Amino acid sequence: MRLILFGAPGVGKGTQAKILSAKLNIPHVSTGDILRLATREKTPIGLKVQEIMNRGELVPDEIITGIIQEKLSTDECKNGFILDGFPRTVPQAASLEKMLLDLGIKDINLIYISAVEDELVKRLTNRRACKVCNNIFNYSLIKDSHFCPVCNAEDSFYQRKDDREDIIRNRFEVYEKSTKPVLDYYKALLDIIYVNALNAVNEVTESIITQIEARIGEKLLISA
C-alpha cells in the first residue's frame, strides 16, 4: 500500500499518517520530521534549512527530493509507505512520478484532507510540542499539566516557531501559491480520495480506510 497524504498545514496529515502506519504496518515518511531531526542534530542539511523553516517557507525542491529518493529506495519502503509533506510543489510531484516509475511502483493513492483555513490556524496555534520526545499536543489538554503524557518529562512543553500565527499565515500563502497546484496536477493522474479534516480523528481514519477498500475491492489487513 502506497499513500500520499495531501492538504494544507494543520489538517492532520501527520496524525493520520502515524495511525495508518501502525494499522497498515508500513513506514510513515515525513519530510517535516526528517528535517526537524536534521536541524536538532545540526547536520549540514539541518543548518541549511533551519532559517527557511523558521520563516514558514518551503525548503528547496532539490533538498527534499534527494531525501525522499534516498528513503523510498530503502528495503524499509519496498512493501509500501505513507508520504506526509511531499510533494509540495508541481516539480516535486513530477520528480516523484519519475522516482515511482524507476522503482516500478504504479499503485499509489492520494488522500486529500481539507478544512477551512481559519479553523486550521486556530488548531495550529493551539499546538504545543514536548522538547524531549517531540510529540505534539493540544494546549487545552495539557495546559494544567507539568508532565508530558508520553515521556513524563517535566515542564517540557513549548510552542514551535512554525506554529506562531504570523508564520502560519505565511505558510498558508505559500501553500496556496506553491502547493495547492499539486492537487490539479494529480487530478489528471489519479482518482483522489477526499476527506474532511474537521471530523473526529477516528472518523477521518475510518473514511480513508473505507474509501481505499472500496477502490481496491477488498478489505485491508488492519493491525490492532
Task: Kindly tell me the number of DSSP H helices and DSSP E strands found in the chain.
Answer: 10, 8
Q: Position of cell 508500513?
A: 26
Residue 53 has pLDDT above 90, yes or no: no
pLDDT at position 96 is: 93
pLDDT at position 49 is: 81
Contacts of 188 (CB under 8 A, 6+ apart): none
pLDDT at position 40 is: 84
pLDDT digits (tens, 9 = 90+) for 172-222: 998 999 899 999 999 989 999 999 999 999 999 999 999 999 988 889 888
Residue 158 has pLDDT above 90, yes or no: yes
The three-point CA angle 100-106-109 to 5° equals 95
Q: Is 36 a catalytic residue?
A: no
pLDDT at position 216 is: 87
Give residue limits of the domains in the chain. Answer: 2-114+166-216, 117-159
Q: Is 169 a catalytic residue?
A: no
Q: Which of 18, 48, 127, 180 is catalytic?
A: 127
The beta-strand segments (E) located in 32-178 are: 81-84, 108-114, 127-130, 136-138, 157-158
Q: Which of 13, 71, 123, 128 is catalytic?
A: 13
**Predicted confidence band of residue 58 (pLDDT cuts 50, 70, 90):** confident
pLDDT at position 76 is: 92
Mean pLDDT of the chain: 90
Q: Which of 2, 36, 123, 171 is catalytic?
A: 171
pLDDT at position 224 is: 63
Q: Which of 18, 23, 160, 180 is catalytic?
A: 160
- Is 3.40.50.300 the CATH classification of the domain at 2-114+166-216? yes
pLDDT at position 165 is: 92
pLDDT at position 45 is: 77
pLDDT digits (tens, 9 = 90+) for 74-126: 899 988 999 998 998 999 999 999 999 988 888 899 999 999 989 889 988 99
Q: Is 40 a catalytic residue?
A: no
pLDDT at position 152 is: 96
Residue 72 has pLDDT above 70, yes or no: yes
Q: Is 160 a catalytic residue?
A: yes
What is the pTM assigned to this prediction?
Answer: 0.79
Q: Position of cell 495550529?
A: 124
Phi, psi of 203 (to 5 degrees): -70, -40
